[in-house]
Amino acid sequence: MDLKTASALRRLRLVSAPEAVSFLLLLVCSVLKRTTDFNAVPVMGMLHGVLFVLYVVLWAFAWYRAKWSLGTSALYLVLSVLPAGGFVAERRLRREAENAVDAAIASRARKEGVVSA
């Protein structure tokens, strides 16, 4: 993997947790709308919608860059529609991005002759 792939994974990771938080807040706002006079659903719905669309766009770009299998890409897409799935995706993406950066650094070091392997 190269640094562009690591960047794509990092961008997806950075939007996954806020998307999960917005989803949970939208669920809370939906309950509050039906049980009280508080109605923040239009605001939270818009915020969550924007974050979800951003997640899907970044997911597609990460799928293209990382060359994920169909199963891995489907997992990250399914995690985006589960209420706390974004937190799971964030942890997995953090590990995957760190591995991608490490692989890119090692590849560059081998290419420049700093290390042999």
Q: What is the pLDDT of residue 115?
A: 62
- Please give the helix or strand (H or E) that residue 73 lies within, else none: helix 70-80
- Rounded Cα distance between 89 and 72, Å, is 11
**Stated pTM of the model:** 0.83
In the predicted model, residues of the chain with pLDDT beneath 70 are 1, 115-117
> Residue 36, exposed/middle/buried by CB under 10 A (0-12, 13-18, 19+)?
exposed
pLDDT digit string (tens) for 16-37?
999 999 999 999 999 999 999 9
User: First and final CA of the chain: distance in angstroms?
Assistant: 17
